[in-house]
Amino acid sequence: MTPDRAVSLIQERFGREAAGEGRYLIVEELPLERWEEFFTFARDTLGCRFFSFLTAVDWKEQGLEVVCRVENLEAGVGILAKTKLGPDAQCPSLTGIYRGADWMERECYDMFGVRFSGHPDLRRILLSQDWEGYPLRKDYAVDTPHAPYR
């Protein structure tokens, strides 16, 4: 597997341009319903077995976007893929493909309120279970008062 080959394979199968080079390929706006399919393909066909991170970005009116990065360590191919979520903030879980997605998706749920369907244990991970709101959303003010400490 080479970066060029990865670019053409992604183009062929998903019709998406992978911008960037080598370890920093970026695939924008994957359709949400092909999110799992893409990562199964990345793992099995592109050999990206290393799970780097998963997070989200709040684009205000345009909604939330989930970002995930995986890498083929030997061949030097890294892929950062993105998908836009609908207003319900639902996203298919990648836990069945990468076991490392477990904690990352929990953190993403904790901070952005993204609901990963198919996640076996979707609880808050860094904040307490009774926390209100999702701190990394842009409409969550930095000085939001804390609930009284119990």
Partner 1 sequence: MADTEARKVIELGYGGNERLVMNMGPQHPSAHGVFRMILTLEGETIAAIDSVIGYLHRCHEKLGETLTYAQYPSIASKTDYVAAMTSELTYVLAAEKIGKIEVPKRAQHLRVLVAELQRIASHCLWLGTWCLDLGGALGGGATVFLYCFREREMILDLFEALTGARLLYGFHQVGGTRYDLPEGWAKRCRDTVGQIDQRIDEYESMLETNTAFLWRAQGVGVISKELAQEVGIAGPLLRGSGVDFDIRRNDPYSSYQDFDFEIPVETAGDCYARYRVRMQEFRESIKIVRQVLDGLPEGPISSRPGLKSVGQVRIPKGEAYARVEGPRGEVGCYLIADGGPKPYRMKWRGASFSNLSILPHIVPGHKVADVVAIMGSVDPVFGEVDR
Min dist CB 7 to partner 1, Å, is 17
User: Quick one: angle between helices 3-14 and 35-44, nearest 10?
Assistant: 150
The neighbouring-strand residues paired with 57 are: 65
Rounded to a whole number of angstroms, the minimum distance from the CB of residue 142 to partner 1 is 6
Q: Decide whether 3 or 33 has the Cβ nearer to partner 1.
A: 3
Q: Is 98 in the site for partner 1 (CB under 8 A)?
A: yes
Does 41 interact with partner 1 (rule: CB under 8 A)? no
Among 51, 64, 81, 116, binds partner 1 (CB under 8 A): 51
12 vs 141 by CB, closer to partner 1:
141
The reply on whether position 58 binds partner 1 by CB under 8 A is yes
Binds partner 1 by CB under 8 A, chosen from 30, 102, 105, 122: 102
Beta strand 64-72 pairing with 50-58: antiparallel
Which of residues 5, 99, 118, 147 is near partner 1 by CB under 8 A?
99
Residue closer to partner 1, measured from CB, 33 or 138: 138
Distance CA 125, CA 96 (A): 19
